[in-house]
Each structure stands twice: as structure tokens, then as C-alpha cells.
Amino acid sequence: MCGEPIEISASGRTDAGVHALGQVANFHTESAMSVEEILEYCNRYLPEDIAVVEVSEAAPRFHSRLNATGKRYRYRIINSQIPDVFWRRYATEEPEELDLDAMRKAAELLLGEHDFKAFTSAKKSKKSTVRRIDEIRIERIENRVEFVFTGNGFLHHMIRILMGTLLEVGKGIRTPESVTDVLKSGDRAKAGALVPAKGLV
């Protein structure tokens, strides 16, 4: 496209089966192509399940990951005994009735800056596992329950393990207060299961 080798940097990565809305990426080029031409070229050749919605010129030192001020993820659950043929590709099915109030209480205990070592599948690393969660919003929309996580960054599989833990709270398997003990333990085995990827955006 640009007539030169380019390296694309993305603001984050998605696991297999996870969907993305609003992914930001950047690259450096000496090409004289306009942003309109780049947009048109990308959408002409990208597969049908990927679309570039905007192209703009950024400052020379801009980096989509390093300059990110926060990240937001949404996890969808079809909370109904009747299968949803429209949403099933983009949501996890959980037919058992969930106690959303209990889940909200547990979510409040996860807010703020904590060591989320217990909520990651990453192998031992020297990198910090401390992250800050600013908001966890839980709301029912028709037959779905949507969970919105906003924070300064998330560890590998962190959202999906948090969801597995919150689901156990919602089903009465554990108490809302138990998430504090999980946080303090730093033990992955004490957190909930890793939920399917397809519900995460």
C-alpha cells in the first residue's frame, strides 16, 4: 500500500474468539497517500469481518498503546433459558438466574488499584500485575446482562477470569466479600473459571 515496509502497533491484543470495537493502531510512513486513500485501500482489501472506520494523521511520537489513557471492555451474557439465535455468536449463554445485586457488591470491591495476580493466566513474569479499575457497570438489557469494565489496563485473561468469579457470586457459589480474599491471595486457583472468549468485546 505505502510502497515501503511498515510496522503496525496496536493499542491492545485480542485473544482468539474475542471481538473488538474501536481498536486503535498506528504506523509510520513516508508515503504521500492521503488519509482518505489509506482508508479506502484498507477496506478494499481487508476481510469482511474487519473494517477501518477512521484514518487520521498523528503526532510523530504518538504510540497507540503507550499513549492510551484507558481501556474499556464489555462482556455479554445471554441470561435466559431460551437460546438467542442472534446474539449467540457474541455472548456467552447462562440459563441460571443471576443475582445482579450480589454481583454489583462484589464488583465494588474490585474497584481501585489492586494487585490482580489472582485474575490472570499469565505465567510468572517480572512485570507488575497491579492495575486500576475505575468502573464496573452491570445492567440487564432484555434477555442479556452486560458488564462494562473501564480501567487503566488489564492483564492477560483478566476480564474473563473476573467474569468467571462474578458469575460464581451471581449463582450463589461464593459471597461478594470473597473476592477480597481472592485479591489478597494472589492465587489463580482461588478465582473463578475462565469464561468463553466470544462474549468479550
- DSSP string spanning the chain? --SS----EES----TT---SS--EE--------HHHHHHHHHHHS-TT----------TT--TTTT---EEEEEEEE-SSS--TTTTTSSEE--S---HHHHHHHHHHH-EEEE-GGG--PPS-SS--EEEEEEEEEEEETTEEEEEEEES---TTHHHHHHHHHHHHHTTSS-TTHHHHHHHHT-GGGS-----GGGB-
The percentage of residues in the chain with a pLDDT greater than 90, rounded to a whole number, is 68
Quick check: 67 pLDDT over 90?
no
Average pLDDT, integer, range 127-149? 97
Average pLDDT, integer, range 95-113? 98
Architecture category of domain 1-68 in CATH: 2-Layer Sandwich (3.30)
Q: Which regions of the chain carry the CATH code 3.30.70.580?
A: 1-68
Cβ neighbours around 120 below 10 Å, total? 20
Quick check: 2 pLDDT over 90?
no
Which of the residue ranges 55-69, 135-149, 155-169 would you say has the lowest mean pLDDT? 55-69
- The pLDDT value recorded for residue 18 is 82
Band the pLDDT of 100: cuts 50, 70, 90: very high
Band the pLDDT of 49: cuts 50, 70, 90: confident
Band the pLDDT of 35: cuts 50, 70, 90: very high
Fold of the domain spanning 71-199: Alpha-Beta Plaits (3.30.70)
Show which residues are catalytic. Answer: 15
The residue with greater pLDDT, 197 or 10, is 197
Quick check: 192 pLDDT over 90?
yes
State pTM to two decimals: 0.81
Average pLDDT, integer, range 83-100? 93
Smallest CA-to-CA distance from 3 within 32, 34, 44, 23 is with 32
Band the pLDDT of 131: cuts 50, 70, 90: very high
Average pLDDT, integer, range 134-138? 98
